[in-house]
Amino acid sequence: MTDDYLMRIGTLIRNARQHRGWTQTQLAEALGTSQSAINRIERGGQNISLEMIARIGEALDSEIVSLGYAGPMHLRVVGGRRLSGSISVKTSKNACVALLCASLLNAGRTTLRRVARIEEVYRILEVLNSIGVRTRWVNDGDDLEITPPARLDLGSMDTEAARRTRSVIMFLGPLMHREDRFKIPYAGGCDLGTRTVEPHMSALRRYGLEITATGGYYHAEVDRSVVPTRPIVLTERGDTVTENALLAAARHDGVTVIRNASSNYMVQDLCFFLEQLGVRIDGIGTTTLTVHGVPVIDRDVDYSPSEDPVEAMSLIAAAVVTSSELTIRRVPIEFLEIELAVLENMGLDHERGDEYVADNGRTRLVDLTVRPSKLRSPIDKIHPMPFPGLNIDNVPFFAAIAASAQGGTLIHDWVYDNRAIYLTELTRLGAEVKLLDPHRVLVEGPTRWRPAEMMCPPALRPAVVVLLAMMAAEGTSVLRNVYVINRGYEDLAERLNSVGARIETFRDI
């Protein structure tokens, strides 16, 4: 490699490391090398192989270089443009990954319609393929067909793919029905601080699953003589915790009552899918689920996951911060009612069409038109609550919205340890965002947005918030290393361009 390429690669590695919050020593330990070697690499003073670049990218969960992959690495955004026309909401990322994990319950063929073509889905597919599950895209790549083998080859699991997604934790529920002993790698995904898996263990222990965490793996052992004798009370009303409990209950030969269950959109989609597998579930949409398990599931099923309310909120925020009139189609309204009520109180001008039913036959959709509005800060703070409260993943979008409103807004993101910190990145684009503590920020508006070049935050929703702010800033901005956005959004830049944005994808190398 030339000295110029070495310098550019070194700069990319240094930026990715610093954004992850690692020292050179920590990166060296992850790679089994020395701090001085990392220092030389970052200064462009050492030749580096493609294998080492790939290893560094995996350690930092950052796409340093792309080989044989057509997706974007960086985004160049020409901001200050009004959006117009209409854009449709894609299917739910969180529902799709849960349904992929749930397909392991079924000995028959599972067909999922309009699956989101995103990196998070690709990682789960890589894991499934590595253990012997056959998957193929059908109907011009819109739908996904999944056929499990009679026996899974867990010893061949693609651990690198598994470590790059938190969704792999939802393999615990299905695998305990198929194996007495197994292991899965520690879950990865967004850098959102310490998120304990103990609520998962507490729920699954009632089915005889015992976990030992050591050496980078969860080592699982199942005692099949242990069955739930009373309702399972979840210690945390989490989405993936509830999904794991449902996956464990689905093939338990008996009735399981799950209390303090999440009733969020992805949990409801999973319940609807399990019903198609023959599992009866009472109480869908409430915090108490009664699951009538089926010990053997072997049927060919066809299911359409519903639309993503978080993507819908992203598009609403895009219209707000760019002062645009935009119609967002296929909005799952029951999962955005609190958000829209807050926005109405802030002065949002919008119009809702008549309700219609999603392809799953259950979820209520509307077409929503957002118009330019003079917003004022809300009287109360913005804070998440379990459904039917304001969605945890929608909280970051209110930072960009609050920065566009008159007055001060307190945002309290109590769920994640680090995510509020990433919202302070908006200050580089002209916003006034003051960090009060690791969970609270104070946003003062209105903002005169300005362009900037910056690294993508290592958390999905804050990364998209930065992109939306760049769209509002007159001039040209650059957002680097956008793999995390591709984890949760399908062709986001191209779709925003279709309604008037100007976003270009490019690579340095």
Residue 55: pLDDT above 70?
A: yes
Q: Can you give the pLDDT at residue 372?
A: 97
Same domain flag for 298 and 199: yes
Same domain, 157 and 195: yes
- Taking only the tens place, the pLDDT of each residue in 272-292 is 999 999 999 999 999 999 999
CB 369 within 8 A of CB 327: yes
Claim to verify: residue 317 and residue 423 sit in the same structural domain: yes
Same domain, 396 and 442: yes
DSSP bridge pairs for 210: 221
**Weakest mean pLDDT among 2-11, 125-134, 433-442:** 2-11
Q: Does the residue 65 lie in any domain?
A: no
97 domain residue, yes or no: yes
Domain-located, residue 340? no
Same domain, 48 and 195: no
Residue 367 within any structural domain of the chain: no
pLDDT tens profile 149-171: 999 999 999 988 888 887 888 99
Q: Is residue 345 part of a domain?
A: no
Question: Do the domain assignments include residue 338?
Answer: no
Specify whether 315 is located in the same domain as 294: no
Q: Is residue 422 part of a domain?
A: yes
Domain span at residue 21 reads: 3-60
DSSP H/E element including 504 = strand 503-506
Whether residue 297 is found in the same domain as residue 313: no
Which domain CATH number covers 9? Answer: 1.10.260.40
Q: Do 255 and 235 lie in a common domain?
A: yes
Q: What is the token pair recorded at 370? A: 């957002």
Residue 5 has pLDDT above 80, yes or no: no
> From edge to edge, which strands make up the β-sheet containing 432-437?
407-412, 440-445, 432-437
Mean predicted confidence (pLDDT) in 67-91: 84
Lowest-pLDDT range of 25-34, 63-72, 238-247: 63-72
Domain shared by 176 and 113, yes or no = yes
pLDDT averaged over every residue in the chain: 90
Q: Tell me the mean pLDDT in the region 184-194.
A: 56
**CB-CB neighbours of 296 under 10 Å:** 10
- Is 268 within the bounds of a domain? yes
Cα-based angle 491, 495, 498 (whole degrees, multiple of 5): 150
Shared domain check, 313 and 272: no
pTM, two decimals, is 0.83
pLDDT of residue 449: 97
CA distance 71 to 88: 21
Query: Using one digit for the tens of pLDDT, what is the confidence trace for 434-470?
Result: 999 989 999 999 999 999 999 998 888 999 999 999 9
- Do residues 78 and 25 both lie within one domain? no
Share of the chain above pLDDT 70, in %: 94
Residue 190 has pLDDT above 60, yes or no: no
Helix, strand and coil content of the chain, in percent to the nearest 5, comes to 40, 20, 40
Q: How confident is the model at residue 230 (pLDDT cuts 50, 70, 90)?
A: very high
- Are 78 and 51 in the same domain? no
Question: CA 344, 262, 331, 189 torsion: positive or negative?
Answer: positive
CATH number of the domain at 488, please: 3.65.10.10
Number of structural domains found in the chain: 3
